[in-house]
Amino acid sequence: MRESPLWATRLGIHAFDDRLADNSEEGVARWRAFRREVLERAERIDPERLSPADRVTLALLTEELENGVAQEVCEEHLWSLSARDNPVTEWNNLPEVHLVTTPAEGEALLSRYGAIAGSIDNMVANLRSGAKRGLYATAESTRRVLDMVDKQLAQPLDEWPLMQPANVPHDDWDEPTLEEFRLQLRATVERSIQPALRRYGDLLRNELLPNARAEAYSGLVALPLCKACYAARVHRYLDARSLWGDE
C-alpha cells in the first residue's frame, strides 16, 4: 500500500493519504524490486499446506507477479500514451478519490496536490528517456492526449475539477482554516500543477508528436523492444490458458 497510496485510499486505508506513488526512475526501480521480493516469498510457500481456496489465491498472485516481472521489458512507462490514463484523467479524478470532510483530510489533500507537479515532471522525464531509445507512442494516441491537455489548459482555472474541493462549504470548519485551505489549494493548482501540465503538453507537441508512429506502425513490432515485449505478452496469455483452460 505504501507504493500505491491512491489505491490504499480507494480501499479505505488512510495511512498514506498525504502522498502519491513515486513514478520517478528510482521509484519504478524500487517497485520492481519489491515485486520480485514478493514473488520470491510467494514461491517459497508450499501450496500443499494451504486450503483449496488459498491455493487458488496463491496461484493467481504468483501468476500476476510473474507476468508483471516478465512485462517489465515492455517499458510502457517510457512511451505509452493513453486517453484513459494520463495526467488529465488521473489528477482530475483525485478529488473524487480523496474526499475531504475534516481539516486533517484537507491537509493531506494539499500535500498530494503539492506532489502532482513532480509526478507530471517525472512522466516528462520518463517519456524523454524513452524517446532517446526510439520508443514512441502512435501519432493518434499522442494527438488524443495532447488534445485533452490543451482543453484542460484552455479551461478557466475555477472550472478545473482539481478546484472542486475549494467549493465545498465545510460549515463545521472555523473560517480561518477553511480560507487558508482554499487559498493554498488554488495557489498550488495555479502556480505548480498548471505549469507542469503545460510542460507536459509542450513535450507532446514539440518532441513526441513529430516522431510518433504512423498508423501503419501502430503495433509493437514497430518498437525496438518488440521481440522481448511480444514474448512476455504471449507468456502471459499462455499462463492464463494453463490456469483457466480454454475458457
Q: Which residues pair with 138 in a beta bridge?
A: 213
Q: Which residues lie below 8 Å from residue 38, measured CB to CB, with a gap of 6+?
A: 65
Question: Nine-digit cell at 18?
Answer: 498525504
CB atoms within 10 A of CB 82: 12
Question: Nine-digit cell at 167?
Answer: 467549493
SS3 content of the chain, % helix, strand, coil (to 5): 75, 0, 25
Selection from 203, 9, 18 nearest residue 120 by Cα: 203
Q: Is the pLDDT of residue 241 over 90?
A: no
Q: Is the pLDDT of residue 236 over 80?
A: no
- What percent of the chain has pLDDT above 90? 84
CB atoms within 10 A of CB 134: 12
Q: State the Cα angle at 175 between 112 and 103, rounded to 5°.
A: 30
In whole angstroms, what is the distance from residue 170 CA to residue 23 CA?
A: 33
In whole angstroms, what is the distance from residue 24 CA to residue 210 CA?
A: 25
Q: Is the pLDDT of residue 239 over 80?
A: no
CB atoms within 10 A of CB 111: 14
Sign of the Cα torsion 8, 93, 32, 64 reads positive
CB 200, CB 149: distance < 8 Å: yes
Q: Considering the entire predicted model, what is its pTM?
A: 0.89
Could you tell me the pLDDT band of residue 238, with boundaries at 50, 70 and 90? Answer: low
Q: 70-116, pLDDT tens digit by residue?
A: 999 999 999 999 999 999 999 999 999 999 999 999 999 999 999 99
Average pLDDT score, the chain: 93
Per-residue CA distances from 11 to 6, 93, 97, 144 (Å): 9, 15, 10, 31
Could you tell me the pLDDT band of residue 246, with boundaries at 50, 70 and 90? Answer: very low
Q: Is the pLDDT of residue 237 over 80?
A: no
Q: 56-65, pLDDT tens digit by residue?
A: 999 999 999 9
Q: 126-170, pLDDT tens digit by residue?
A: 999 999 999 999 999 999 999 999 999 999 999 999 999 999 999
CB atoms within 10 A of CB 3: 14
Predicted confidence at residue 125, as pLDDT, reads 98
Average pLDDT over residues 211-224: 89
